[in-house]
Structure 1
Amino acid sequence: MTNRRQFLKTAGLTAAAAAPAMLAAPHVKAQAPIRWRLQTYAGPALAEEVVRPCVDAFNKAANGQMEIELYTADQLVPTGELFRAMQAGTIDAVQSDDDSMNSPVDIKVFGGYFPFASRFGLDVPTLFYQFGLAEIWDQAYSEVGVKWLSAGAWDPCNFSTNKPIKTLEDLKGLRVFTFPTAGKFLTQFGVVPVTIPFEDVQVAMQTGEIDAIAWSGITEMKTSGWEDVTKYFLTNNISGGWCGSFFANADRWNEVPEHLQVLWRACMDSSHFRRLHWYWGGEARLRAGESKLELTTVPDAEWKTVEEKAYEFWEEVAAQSERTAKVVQILKDYQAIMEKAGPPYRNT
């Protein structure tokens, strides 16, 4: 009996001593957070507006369990190599359009500025989350080892130049920094697309290597510093809202606990929301006089021919694959609904 009592007493002390260690185990694990490297398409100044807030919010809310390190355009890898680097696991996540990061999927043509697919920023999330584009993007990227996470609407696409554009003839011969798909579409109007690193754009405008920028609306012209090297802003656009997404290496995404996945999705949504009002208000204020750029406009009747050519371009894209044909049909159905709805959805 004495030995039994002694055993129970000793066992109790041993268990009590072991308990703190057992409780500490999860705490020790929490001291080694998951670390991601995310590179954005945006340069340093623009990144502070379009991605830094959501990354900072996530890192704070993750409470030491996960940390996302943010890198700006071309900082780790060139923008055109972003997809391959993410697919290989060299970087963990990307914020970009499909087109700029040189995605190998057939739907990359719709990323960035697909001509006249959107009239306003709200068109993009509506197409994704009410008309089925989200399911198509998720399927396409799951085939190539990448997790598509979220899409949102960013700024419109206008021309900024050092000579006034008042007619379509004025576009001929312009060497323009723009997105691949937009550049391909614009060649029929005499535009010469030029691909250079994001950070070289300002100097390229000053040296005359390029004559114009068709990358953004007027808000980004000011934020990126490009307003200082251009004189004119064409109010006509070829897209009312950019289509950009967040992506992740599929294996890295699967390693993230569900509660942190939910948190990151909420932070991405907050980023898309911020862009909607940042651009909407910014474009209006700057056009109303807060920008030093002089506004020019091609007459509506003449610009209508550009829109008509876009629908011909859509047919070429639809012929590329069964999936691109499905996307084009969704765009057509959506445009028909918007036009039938009338103002404020469409004025014509």
Structure 2
Amino acid sequence: MERREFLKKAGLGAAAAVAATTIKAPFVHAAKKTPIKWRLQTYAGPALAEYVIKPQIDAFNKIAQGEMVIELYYADQLVPTGELFRAMQRGTIDAVQSDDDSIAAPVDVSVFGAYFPFASRYSLDVPVLFNHYGLKEIWEEAYKEVKGVTWLSAGAWDPCNFATIEPIRKLADLKGKRIFTFPTGGKFLQRFGVVPVTLPWEDIEVAIQTGELDGIAWSGITEDYTVGWADVTKYYLTNNISGAWAGSYFANSDKWDALPEHLKALFKMSIDSSHYHRLHWYWWGEAHYRTTGGKLELTSIPDAEWATVEQEALKYWDEIAAKSPRSAKVVEILKKYAATMEKAGRPYRYV
């Protein structure tokens, strides 16, 4: 009996000691990881970025729940647009939303970024070409040859139309016009007397008011109204040299490779969400502002005369194709796609 009482009391004492130790021990919080931080610069100024990328970045940061935070910067805010590629290679910035042409990407396919003349008629043409006609694989191949930058995805934006101070009703009206536009688009338009001008995005509105520019061939009518260019121009030419801007997302390769797989997947999903948002926002806006905008008078160059511009574009395609085997492959795809769309007829093409 004495032995039993001893063991019983000893057991209770040990349990009490353990309980006391447990109760008195301080509570230790699990150490939180420092969030991954990226700096991403877009081609767009603040007013436009509000629609073409900010919703995506806001959603990504919310869903990432502090594990990763992307800081968004606007056109030329950290680095001039023409220097974005090099800055990304160096790691000065971590990611970019722009077209290959504007950021001077050192790959042969960069000429097809932004507005390659008449490469597309409608915004849906761009994702179809990349996802179903092989452009995605060609872009991946091209960027693997460049150290430090990973190409992630391409999508469609708006068409390329002229917004001008004076009306454009025939090709001759383009001669001598100083126009803000993209590098490749500008080179093509020089064939019709246009004088391409390169300026920081934020300076365009003032440059039109001061007479430094005669107009813009940088967007469709949605952007003209959204960013204020419709307030300083008077006319909008319905003929366009491309049905959709082809833009891409890029990242510094080391930063991209260091991301855990689930964050890579989340970022790519957010890119797809942004692509989708732009498709319907621009499609809505191009019709909405033509019909109810009230600020810009619509003008048109007759179809027969504009057909000469399209024919000149095909000559330009062949000139670009001669520059490299890969460029030739892209041009071959564009021709095949155009032929398919024309053969398919309405609603793909109205001929």
TM-score by length of 1: 0.93
Give how far 1:270 is off.
0.7
Tell me if 1:222 matches 2:225. yes
Tell me if 1:317 matches 2:338. no
Q: Which residue of 2 aligns with 1:329?
A: 332
Give how far 1:267 is off.
0.6
SS in structure 1 opposite 2:218?
Answer: strand
Give how far 1:184 is off.
0.3
**Quick one: which of 39, 43, 49 aligns to 1:41?**
43
SS in structure 1 opposite 2:309?
Answer: helix
SS in structure 2 opposite 1:28?
Answer: coil
Q: Which residue of 1 aligns with 2:164?
A: 161
In structure 2, the CA distance between the partners of 1:16 and 1:346, relative to structure 1 (3 Å rule), is: farther
Q: Which residue of 2 aligns with 1:180?
A: 183
**Quick one: which of 58, 62, 66 aligns to 2:60?**
58
In structure 2, the CA distance between the partners of 1:299 and 1:13, relative to structure 1 (3 Å rule), is: farther
1:134-283 matched pairs, under 5 angstroms: 134-144=136-146, 145-283=148-286
Q: Which residue of 2 aligns with 1:287?
A: 290
In structure 2, the CA distance between the partners of 1:36 and 1:300, relative to structure 1 (3 Å rule), is: same
Give how far 1:17 is off.
10
Partner Cα separation in structure 2 for residue 50 and residue 74 of structure 1: 16
Q: Which residue of 2 aligns with 1:307?
A: 310
Partner Cα separation in structure 2 for residue 176 and residue 54 of structure 1: 31
Partner Cα separation in structure 1 for residue 293 and residue 200 of structure 2: 28
In structure 2, the CA distance between the partners of 1:126 and 1:16, relative to structure 1 (3 Å rule), is: farther
Partner Cα separation in structure 2 for residue 76 and residue 286 of structure 1: 32
Give how far 1:194 is off.
0.4
The amino acid of 2:59's aligned partner reads A
Q: Which residue of 1 aligns with 2:128?
A: 126
Q: Deviations over 1:262-320 (max 9, x none)?
A: 11111111101010010001000111132410000000010010000000000010011
Partner Cα separation in structure 1 for residue 256 and residue 140 of structure 2: 13
The amino acid of 2:67's aligned partner reads Q
Q: Deviations over 1:180-231 (max 9, x none)?
A: 0000001010000000000000010001111110000000001111111100
Give how far 1:28 is off.
2.2
Tell me if 1:339 matches 2:329. no
Give how far 1:15 is off.
11
Partner Cα separation in structure 2 for residue 318 and residue 232 of structure 1: 35
Query: Structure 2, unaligned stretches of length 5 or more?
Result: 1-6
The amino acid of 2:165's aligned partner reads N
The amino acid of 1:282's aligned partner reads G
SS in structure 2 opposite 1:151?
Answer: strand
Query: Structure 1, unaligned stretches of length 5 or more?
Result: none
Partner Cα separation in structure 2 for residue 215 and residue 342 of structure 1: 29
In structure 2, the CA distance between the partners of 1:186 and 1:35, relative to structure 1 (3 Å rule), is: same
Q: Deviations over 1:101-132 (max 9, x none)?
A: 11111111000000000000000000000111
Partner Cα separation in structure 1 for residue 327 and residue 24 of structure 2: 64
Q: Which residue of 2 aligns with 1:70?
A: 72
Q: Which residue of 2 aligns with 1:98?
A: 100
Q: Deviations over 1:64-123 (max 9, x none)?
A: 100000000000000000110011100000000001111111111000000000000000
The amino acid of 2:222's aligned partner reads T
Give how far 1:14 is off.
9.6
Q: Deviations over 1:129-169 (max 9, x none)?
A: 01111111112112212111111100000001011100000
SS in structure 2 opposite 1:238?
Answer: strand
Partner Cα separation in structure 2 for residue 109 and residue 16 of structure 1: 69
Partner Cα separation in structure 1 for residue 107 and residue 251 of structure 2: 15
Give how far 1:16 is off.
11
SS in structure 1 opposite 2:267?
Answer: helix
Structure 1 ranges of 4+ moved more than 6 A: 8-18
Partner Cα separation in structure 2 for residue 153 and residue 16 of structure 1: 61
Give how far 1:12 is off.
11
Moved more, 139-148 or 227-236: 139-148
Percent identity over the alignment is 66
